[in-house]
Amino acid sequence: MPPTMPPTAPPAASVTAPLTWLYVPADRPDRVAKALAADADVVIVDLEDAVAPENKGRARAEAVALLATPQPRVQIRVNDVRTPYGQADLHALAALVTGTCGVRLPKVESAAEVREIAAALPGVPLHPLIESALGLERAFEIATACDAVASVGLGEADLRADLGVSSDGGLAWARSRIVVAARAAGLPAPSQSVYPDVRDLAGLAASCLEGRATGFRGRTAVHPAQLPVIVEAYRPSEAEIAAAQEVLAAAGQGAVALPDGRFVDEAVVRQARRVLESARPAAYPGPAAYQGGAGASRP
């Protein structure tokens, strides 16, 4: 049975969570080393889309070698666990991923699937990716599948193909849906999906600003050059920080109007706190950075 909706929304998860995630193919240990030396908060070692079928075994072996020592800045993206590749990934990595900040699960379409993986990887934060219409319809069920779920996100390339959309406008509802599902589940705000044109940094910046305005927090990247653009877009400006501080200075006085005409009530105060918290450096991206979902809403 799907979990029961909590009677009130759970407390918001910390917004000092990581801002940047950098994908790197697991079968390229040289690139993995460079990624770990870059400024990404989290490095996603990818066994799925970035690896050709003939290289899956070598990629898995390289991931096993990497995880021989704890890697608190690393997430592993396994293959779809409904495939032999994904099952082999889970079998090979089960004893090793406890030293990481989690496992990213592609193409998730049900809460039962997430619970089965959680049972196979006890104590490991799970990060389901929703990449189909069916997964999107079940977004809240997936987000509240079990306490191991640490975040949810969209895989937009696959979702575009499944929905048959060719523009960002066609994904607007899906993006809002995942933001709402994460919030309702007490999870961190989702990160934006990859911006595929690594040379279009201006387009990336504009897209990040739009994502921030619509409830996302941070973004996955496929090239180190994208990282500072993401951080710049998602960190509040000095003007935003000053405005938030002014709001908090007026807090506790009930509903009041500031000299510039802004009306301040409790909702505005909560938003100001979020702005100031988002100005802080990202949390250390080990498993503790992904705790804070609303356990009361979990089965």
- 69 and 97, same domain (yes or no): yes
- 48 and 128, same domain (yes or no): yes
Q: Which residue has the tokens 């505005």?
A: 268
Percent of the chain, pLDDT > 90? 71
Cα→Cα distances 206→33, 203, 235, Å: 30, 5, 14
Structural contact between residues 234 and 212, judged by C-beta atoms closer than 8 angstroms: yes
Nearest to 186 by CA among 7, 3, 2, 14: 14
- 261 and 140, same domain (yes or no): no
Whether 230 is in a domain gets the answer: yes
- Predicted confidence (pLDDT) per residue in 203-259, tens digit: 999 999 999 999 999 999 999 999 999 999 998 766 666 666 666 666 666 556 666
- 226 and 139, same domain (yes or no): yes
Q: Which of 177, 210, 235 is the last residue of a domain?
A: 235
- 118 and 100, same domain (yes or no): yes
- 203 and 115, same domain (yes or no): yes
Whether 240 is in a domain gets the answer: yes
| Mean pLDDT, range 148-152, rounded to an integer | 97
Whether 98 is in a domain gets the answer: yes
33 CB contacts (<8 Å, ≥6 apart)?
A: none
Looking at the 3D structure of the chain, how many domains does it have?
2
- 208 and 108, same domain (yes or no): yes
CATH (domain of 111): 3.20.20.60
- Predicted confidence (pLDDT) per residue in 87-142, tens digit: 999 999 999 999 999 999 999 999 999 999 999 999 999 999 999 999 999 999 99
- 150 and 70, same domain (yes or no): yes
**More confident: 268 or 14:** 268
- Predicted confidence (pLDDT) per residue in 44-78, tens digit: 999 999 999 999 999 999 999 999 999 999 999 99
Q: Is the pLDDT of residue 272 over 70?
A: no
Whether 139 is in a domain gets the answer: yes
> Cα–Cα distance between 117 and 78 in angstroms, integer?
11
> Cα–Cα distance between 19 and 281 in angstroms, integer?
9
Averaged confidence pLDDT in the chain: 86
- 185 and 91, same domain (yes or no): yes
**More confident: 272 or 62:** 62
Whether 286 is in a domain gets the answer: no
Whether 1 is in a domain gets the answer: no
> Cα–Cα distance between 87 and 214 in angstroms, integer?
36
- 160 and 256, same domain (yes or no): no
Whether 14 is in a domain gets the answer: no
Whether 7 is in a domain gets the answer: no
Domain interval for residue 179: 20-235
Which runs of E-coded beta strand occur in 101-227? Answer: 103-105, 126-130, 153-154, 219-221
Q: Which of 219, 235, 251 is the last residue of a domain?
A: 235
- 219 and 87, same domain (yes or no): yes
Nearest to 142 by CA among 104, 102, 115: 115
**More confident: 120 or 278:** 120
- 210 and 272, same domain (yes or no): no
